[in-house]
Structure 1
Amino acid sequence: MLRRKTIFLSGLGFAALVAGGFTAAPILTAEADAPVIKTQATTAPETTAAIPTTETKPEPDAGAAPEAERVLTPEEQKAAAAKQVFDKAMADAAALNAEYENFKRGRSKKPVSLSAFRSLELRLDMIADADPSNTQARDMAGMMKMRQYEILQPSVEIAASANRLLFAHAMAERMRDDGTKVMVSGARNSAVRFVSPHMTRQMAMQLSESAKIPEKAKALQFQRVVFGNGRRSWTYDVRRNRLR
């Protein structure tokens, strides 16, 4: 009897499973029983006012035609050409001057041509003549001339000294019959001496005031002309034009 009841109950359970479609509810825990609240994330509205924006400039079209350049007036073209010539001359003068300084100080063994300074002097003089307000060109031309004097000075001094000596010899030949001796003295023959036993102060004044000796002494760059008789002497200062 008991066995039949057990079989009967088992059959009921199987029938219930079939009728329910084999659905078995899972065992719920405390965490599973709690309702799940889903929240949708909302993004804050963008604030474009606070964020700086960079404007993008359109790139120039490679195929676009270039803007037409402004045509210079004849006066502007002339001024631009003159400035180009002036800048070139100033650059050449500065380079030549630096080359000369290096040679003078022993930094270079290459001598500087005298004609190069002369050529630049003429170029700068022409620029200054065309534009009298261009004082830079005039000043640089003066420097080029000064450099020529520096280069020629040793040769000029030697030649001048020789010319003064020749003058003394010529005067000695001319005044020999009067018993007057003429000779040079001083560094580089800077002084000429007229010595005569008959020389007096009055004669020295007459000779110094005559046009021949003072002019010749200035031309030959004598510094002094001395008149004497062997006992006394009177010196004529060529630069000051005065006998003392």
Structure 2
Amino acid sequence: MLQRGAENASSVEEIMLRLHKSCMGHIEQATGSNEFEINQVLHIEADLAAWLEVLKAKPEAQQFQSAHRDFGLAFYAAMSGLYRQAFSTLRSFIEVAVGAAYLSSHEFKRRQWVSGKFDISWKSITSTENGLYSTAFLNEFCPEAVGEQDESLEKLKQVYRRCSEYIHGNVSTSQLLPTEISYREEIAKEWLSVANAALIAAIHCLMVRYYRDLPQSLKGMVEGSLEDHFSHLVSVRQLLDLPLEGARS
């Protein structure tokens, strides 16, 4: 019995090491072929980290940090060739980060969420009646963004929808996924593109929820990220006191 157990353990170890070797080979290909796109994603991830530093004293900071860790795991999975897991964990990042921002305005529900007594739904987060981009919500936290809410909400939904298509076995995405760990450039590039959009969407959600209420000393830590990614928006140019010429709503 003990000998059989040792043999099984040895067999599992060999399998795991082969998988690890496959992942290492994939990492070399993925990073070598996508240097520009990876640097873009890491630049935006650094901007998100600046926001999380600014918000570290908030009650929901732990959930933001958890979401940030999810993003790191999603990035590792994508670079390693674990594509379905990469999209799944990227969706978790979006759900937790945006969910925490939304529930920060509902302290009772936020506490119930943290203690496991309340399940937040994507439908409630994206509700046009009282969700994070609803007129009622924006009027209280970022009225400058009211005219841009439809476009912002659609971008957020698109990221979530694309991740979900990989998770739920959508036929078109299932046909793209390899049956073993092997590099698929089109999937790697798409993940990086969706990750880019997910990070920008998360930062925008943090902006509409928190920016106006930040003290000036903390605003300075995140204004660069807003100007980099959203200076084309009238709302951001108003928040940053930038000239409105050339902006669009």
Which band: TM-score by shorter chain? under 0.3
Q: If the length of structure 1 is used for normalisation, what is the TM-score?
A: 0.24
Kindly indicate which of the two structures has a greater share of residues assigned to strand: 1
TM-score normalised to the size of structure 2? 0.24
Which structure has the larger Rg?
1
Quick one: higher RCO (CA 8 Å, sep 6+), 1 or 2? 2
Structure with the larger helix share: 2
